[in-house]
Structures are given as structure tokens and as C-alpha cells.
Amino acid sequence: MTMIGWLQIILYCAIIVALAKPLGWYMTRVFDGERTFLSPVLRPIEAGIYWFSGVDEKREQHWLTYTVSMLLFHVGGFLIIYGVMRLQAVLPFNPAGQGAVAEDLSFNTAISFITNTNWQNYGGESTISYLVQMLGLTHQNFLSAATGIALAVALIRGFSRASARTVGNFWVDVTRTTLYVLLPICVVYTLFLVWQGMPQTLGDYVEATTLEGAKQTIAVGPVASQVAIKMLGTNGGGFFNANAAHPFENPTALSNFVQMLSIFALGAALTNVFGRMVGNQRQGWAILAVMGVLFVAGVAVTYWAEANGTSTLQALGLTGGNMEGKEVRFGIVASSLFAVITTAASCGAVNAMHDSFTALGGMIPLINIELGEIIVGGVGAGMYGMLLFVILAIFVAGLMVGRTPEYVGKKIEAREVKMAMLSILVLPLMILGWTAVGVVYPAAVASMANAGPHGFTEVLYAFTSATGNNGSAFAGLTGNTFFYNLTLASAMFVGRFFMIVPAMAIAGSLAAKKSIPPSAGTLPTTGGLFVGLVVGVILIIGGLTFFPALALGPIVEHLAMNAGQVF
């Protein structure tokens, strides 16, 4: 670890905290339907869209209608992706002449993108056309991100409203998020990325004759426009197979730093939106503090482990850290930091191969996802995930003092706690359940690339990533098989929607409650005690659930590595 490495980490954290307030202010105005500086341009477009689609923007929805609208929206999104993938051979914008994508891979990819997971069983440059990248993947990058944000805002409205029957209008929330938040940032961001060296072209792959006379086919495409929303919307699905490690998808140290910022920017700002909507910004800062504690701890461990290297490298006298599967322009620190950010959020883009990380360095990304990606988290998804943990923490605190717990003026009762628990139980069910199948079913075992405990970790990571809608991988695992295409799709689907529905039920139930003023017996939820309590509950739930699995994978591998054992 170096001083300059830590300086990069500190600078990163400082900018994220500094961005939270102005972005939170702007986004709150957008969700409240107020005017913004972009309204003169965008308002006519917005109104036109509502008129054309038959949306009455004044009419709000009950939580159930809101949820059903969201689900209907995703049925359509699924059909579009599946359709263009199956038909890409006969559709335009296909200069590389890619053939139709297989049924199971198209199914997996469609589920992957509507759930904001962006797990890549396809190799971008070798499998899919520019049209699929744009119309299939870029469009769903926007809409699944906008959906996540809309749902988080609906849950926040549950807390902030009193005696209300409705939680907002899904169509309005999605449209406004797309038009006022995601698109304007992406337009500027795309140009920045192209300036840094990212291609943005519809032209053919380039045929080059190298300096030594060999032939090299260089894949290009409309990369920058997709990468911008891929990072901002915490989607993470790469244009290329190597994702953000590919020099075209992340050309410079600066592009890398800005990509890392854009993963956290909106998620961190949503904590401020929460504070503003419930009438006390300190409530938002307290939640951001919980995220910050867990984040910095994770970064420290991964950075230390990767800088330390492996015993194989040390035995050969190779110093400078574990550079297997990392790029020179990023080095150890920017690769470690990126890995922790991308898994803390539900982004899943990678700028280094997690499969080649040290045992402990690769365990932190795994833990980040298993905790529910509540450390900033996916845009929206992180916020509603964190609020579920807050409900549990408040409930535990209530049990300790024998008082009905309350949070930002709402009583937390049996219904909310049950729904929160239901949501959180999805994680172990899908992750541990499918991993158990994956390590005994012969066709699944054949997919492992590494032997020994690392092979187990590859399978555990795959189902963790899919259930958490992350999308990063221990990429040695051959995921494009019938077994993994279907099981991972089921994990992604359940991990997304079975978490959302109970969360929305909480939103509806909270909105209907009366608001009660704080009294002397109310636990203050803006101080260090509350932050410590939530961190503790998160770690205890995550630890109790996943420690045995981690012991079989990265922990035993670390011990084996120190004993000089290879597999």
C-alpha cells in the first residue's frame, strides 16, 4: 500500500460526499415534479410523451397499482431484448455479421438486463450486433435504472407521507428520472468518454496489420453512449467481454476515476433525497455514514490483500502486488477500489478480473453483494435495500427497550418487519440454494475453471452476483451453458422482483400510517449510536447467513495459499 494510493481513495470518497447534496437537491425537485433548469427544453417533450402514452400525470397510484405497472413495463422490456437478440442476423447495424443468439442465452441476457444485473454470459464483441447493444441493452440500462430509482422514491414517499393512499405514479417517475436525470448526464458523459479515447462509431471492425506484420481485428462500435449509462445506472454490462478492463471501455486513469464516481453518484445522492423528503437531511447523512463505514473497511482489506500479492508471486521474488488479471494503467489501487465500488453498488462492471484476485481480496466483493448491496448500492435498489435493514435495526432496538419502534415519525410494526424479513430471506435462499445444486450437479461442476476451493468460490460468486443483481463474475466459470443460463436467470429474477414486491408493500403500509412526533423515548436516528446499530445488524445478519459458505471458499483458500498449496 502506498501514500499515493490512499490519496486516490480519500479523494474519491471526498468527491462522492461533496456530490451527494447538490445532486440530492436536484433529484428531489425532479421527483417532486418541480421546475428545473432543464424544464424549458424537456417539459414539452415530457408532456408530449404523457399525452401520446395516455398517462395522466396528476393521477397517483396505490402501491399495488404502482408495482403492477412496474411489472408490466418489464414484460415489454424482456420481449424487446429477447426479440432483437433472436432476430439480430436479419436486422440492421450488424457489420460483424453476428448470427442469431441461442434461445437460452437470449433468455438469460434479457432477464439479466431487465433486472439491472447485466450478468454477461455473452461476449459483447463476439456475439451481439450494434443494434442489440443499442436497442436491447442501452435502452434497458436506462429503464431498469430509472425503475430502481422510481421504486426507491416510492418507498421514501411511504416514510414521508401521512395517512396517504398513494405512493406516486410509476409512469411519471420513470419518465422524469430518464429525461431529467439520466439522459442529460449521459450526453455530457458520453462526450467526455470519447474525448478520453472511447470509440463511438457504427463502422466495421478494423483490420490492422501490426508492426510485426500479423493481422489484428479490432472490435469497435457505439461504445461510449452505452458505457455512460452502464456506469451511471449501476448496470455494469460491458460492451466488450473484458468490460471496463478493455482499453476501449476504460482508456485512461482519468476515465477510470470518473467511471468509479459515476457508479456511486446517484446512489449516494438518494440518501440526501431521503433526508430532504422526510424533512431532515441529517437522516440521510446518517444512512450515508453507515454505508461509508462498511465501504472504507472493505476497501482497506482488498487494497491490503492485493498489494500484498500471493505466496506464488512472493516465492518467485515478484514484488508490486497481484497484477494477474489487472491492467497497468490502473495498477493495484485503482483495481482494488473499483472492485469494492462495483460490488458495493450493484454495478458489476469490472476493470480487473475478480477471479484472479487474492482469496481475501476477492472475498470482499463477495461479501459486499451478500450483504445485499446496501453500501450505496444500485441506483434505487441500494436505497430501498438499506431501508429494509434500517427497519430491522430499529426493530431490534425496539425489542431491547420494550417499546414499539419508530423511524422518521412512522411506527414500525409487525407487517413492516415481516415484509422486510421476507425481502432479505431471498438472498440466502437463491445464493446458498443454487450454489448447493451447482457444486453437485455434474454439468454445473464441469463449468468451473479453477480447482480446489477457488472452484467453489466461482460458483458461489456467480449465484451471489446474480441474486444481488450485480453482474460481476469470477469469470473463469463457463456461464453460457443450459444449466447456468436458466438457474442464473431464475436467481436474477427472484433476487430483483421478490425483493421489490415486499418493499413496495412496506411503502404502501407506511404511507397509510399517521405521522407521530418524536418523544423522549424515541431513538434518535441521526447519531453515532444509530449508525453503529445499523452497521451491527447488517454484519450480524450477513455474517450468520454466509460465514459457513465463505469458510468453504475464500477463507480456506487463503489458509491453503499461506501453506504454499496449489490446486
Partner 1 sequence: MLREIRPAIVLLLVLTAITGLAYPLAMTAVAGAIFPAQAQGSLIEKDGKVIGSALIGQEFKDDKYFHGRPSATLAPDPSDSTKTVSAPYNAANSGGSNLGPTSKALADRLKEDVDKLKSENPNAAVPVDLVTTSASGLDPDISPEAAQFQVPRIAKARNMPEDTLKQLVASTTQGRWLGLLGEPRVNVLALNLALDRVAAK
Site residue total, partner 1 (CB under 8 A): 127
Q: How far is the CB of 440 from partner 1 (least distance, A)?
A: 21
Q: Could you give the count of Cα atoms lying within 13 Å of 278 in the half-sphere of its Cβ?
A: 30
Q: Could you give the count of Cα atoms lying within 13 Å of 89 in the half-sphere of its Cβ?
A: 6
* List 251, 292, 409, 495, residue binding partner 1 (CB under 8 A): 251
* Cβ nearer to partner 1, comparing 200 with 522: 200
Distance CA 131, CA 32 (A): 35
Q: Which residues contact 360 (CB under 8 A, 6 or more apart)?
A: 301, 302, 305, 554, 558
Distance CA 138, CA 117 (A): 13
Within 343-362, the residues that bind partner 1 by CB under 8 A are: 350-353, 355-359
Distance CA 397, CA 532 (A): 12
Q: How far is the CB of 199 from partner 1 (least distance, A)?
A: 5
Q: Is 97 in the site for partner 1 (CB under 8 A)?
A: no
Q: Is 253 in the site for partner 1 (CB under 8 A)?
A: yes
**Pairing state between β 215-218 and 206-209:** antiparallel
* List 1, 15, 17, 68, residue binding partner 1 (CB under 8 A): 68
Distance CA 352, CA 331 (A): 9
Q: Pick the piece of the chain touching partner 1 (CB under 8 A) from 239-247, 415-423, 427-435, 540-548.
A: 239-247
Q: How far is the CB of 414 from partner 1 (least distance, A)?
A: 28
Q: Pick the piece of the chain touching partner 1 (CB under 8 A) from 130-138, 413-421, 424-432, 484-492.
A: 130-138
Distance CA 7, CA 10 (A): 5
* List 31, 248, 264, 463, residue binding partner 1 (CB under 8 A): 248
Q: Could you give the count of Cα atoms lying within 13 Å of 415 in the half-sphere of its Cβ?
A: 12
DSSP 177: I
Q: Is 118 in the site for partner 1 (CB under 8 A)?
A: no
478520453: which residue's cell?
A: 196
DSSP H/E element including 349: none
Q: Is 94 in the site for partner 1 (CB under 8 A)?
A: no
CB 267 within 8 A of CB 342: no
Binding mask 135-154 for partner 1 (x = CB under 8 A): xx-xx-xxx-----------
Q: Is 438 in the site for partner 1 (CB under 8 A)?
A: no
* Cβ nearer to partner 1, comparing 55 with 425: 55
Q: Pick the piece of the chain touching partner 1 (CB under 8 A) from 68-76, 267-275, 295-303, 530-538.
A: 68-76
Within 458-487, the residues that bind partner 1 by CB under 8 A are: 474-476
Within 179-238, the residues that bind partner 1 by CB under 8 A are: 183, 186-187, 190-191, 194-203, 205-212, 214, 216-220, 222, 224-226, 229
Q: Is 449 in the site for partner 1 (CB under 8 A)?
A: yes
Within 534-563, the residues that bind partner 1 by CB under 8 A are: 557, 560-561
- Look at residue 214 and give its three-state secondary structure: coil
Summary count for the chain: helices (H), strands (E)? 22, 4
Q: How far is the CB of 149 from partner 1 (least distance, A)?
A: 14
Distance CA 30, CA 468 (A): 28
Q: Is 518 in the site for partner 1 (CB under 8 A)?
A: no
Q: Is 123 in the site for partner 1 (CB under 8 A)?
A: yes
* Cβ nearer to partner 1, comparing 52 with 163: 52
Q: How far is the CB of 190 from partner 1 (least distance, A)?
A: 5
Neighbours of 171 (CB within 10 A): 22
Within 380-419, the residues that bind partner 1 by CB under 8 A are: none
431513538: which residue's cell?
A: 523
Q: Is 174 in the site for partner 1 (CB under 8 A)?
A: yes
**DSSP states of 403-468:** S--EETTEE--HHHHHHHHHHHHHHHHHHHHHHHHHTTSHHHHTT--S-THHHHHHHHHHHHHHHT
Within 327-346, the residues that bind partner 1 by CB under 8 A are: 327-331, 334-335
* Cβ nearer to partner 1, comparing 120 with 271: 120
| Residue of 474, 480, 427 whose CA lies nearest to 107 | 480
Within 3-32, the residues that bind partner 1 by CB under 8 A are: 4, 7-8, 11
Three-state secondary structure readout of 283-333 = HHHHHHHHHHHHHHHHHHHHHHHHHHCCHHHHHCCCCCCCCCCCCCCCHHH
Q: How far is the CB of 417 from partner 1 (least distance, A)?
A: 29
* Cβ nearer to partner 1, comparing 355 with 370: 355
Q: Pick the piece of the chain touching partner 1 (CB under 8 A) from 243-251, 294-302, 418-426, 487-495.
A: 243-251
* Cβ nearer to partner 1, comparing 121 with 525: 121
